[in-house]
Amino acid sequence: MNVGRVLTLAAVLLAFSAPPAQAQGSKDWVEIKDPDELRALYSNKTFRFIHAEVNKPAAIYYRADGKGVMVLGDRRYARTWEIKGSNQVCINDDIRGQWCYRVQRNSKKADEILLVPSIGGIGQFMTVEDGVPKF
């Protein structure tokens, strides 16, 4: 094996052995298990994040009435949200149907959240702000 291959293999192994993003500093992330707290988190709030599929900034606006809209570039995607059980938020839209996730909040930065899919998978980091535009 040449040195380049060894270094490449070492880098790949290191990447796979690193803990996932949500596990790093996991003591800072607390799951929200109160439906009233989840409802307050989604009522008239703006969520900002980098959309993983296109690697571009996106925003989601959620109103207290359960309606929402995701804005990605010049496109708008209508959606609805609801609390399911005591610890899940479920989103419905015409593209993906329904999907649910649990929400964790950063205990040191209250405006940072992590959405963890209920069926497993990679979580999505977002920041949350008060208020939404009219839609």
Mean pLDDT of the chain: 84
Asked whether residue 56 is assigned to any structural domain, the reply reads yes
Indicate the pTM of the whole model: 0.78
Asked whether residue 13 is assigned to any structural domain, the reply reads no
Confidence at residue 111, expressed as pLDDT on a 0 to 100 scale? 96
Domains of the chain: total: 1
Residues in CB range of 47: below 8 A, 6 or more apart: 59, 60, 61, 62, 113, 126, 127, 128
Asked whether residue 102 is assigned to any structural domain, the reply reads yes
Q: How far is CA 135 from CA 76, 93, 98, in A?
A: 10, 16, 21
Asked whether residue 20 is assigned to any structural domain, the reply reads no
Asked whether residue 72 is assigned to any structural domain, the reply reads yes
CATH number assigned to the domain comprising residue 121? 2.40.128.640
From the CA atom positions of the chain, what is the Rg in Å?
Answer: 18
Domain that holds residue 67: 26-130
Asked whether residue 73 is assigned to any structural domain, the reply reads yes
Residues in CB range of 114: below 8 A, 6 or more apart: 22, 29, 103, 104, 105, 106, 123, 124, 125, 126
Asked whether residue 64 is assigned to any structural domain, the reply reads yes
Asked whether residue 5 is assigned to any structural domain, the reply reads no
| More reliable by pLDDT, 21 or 87 | 87
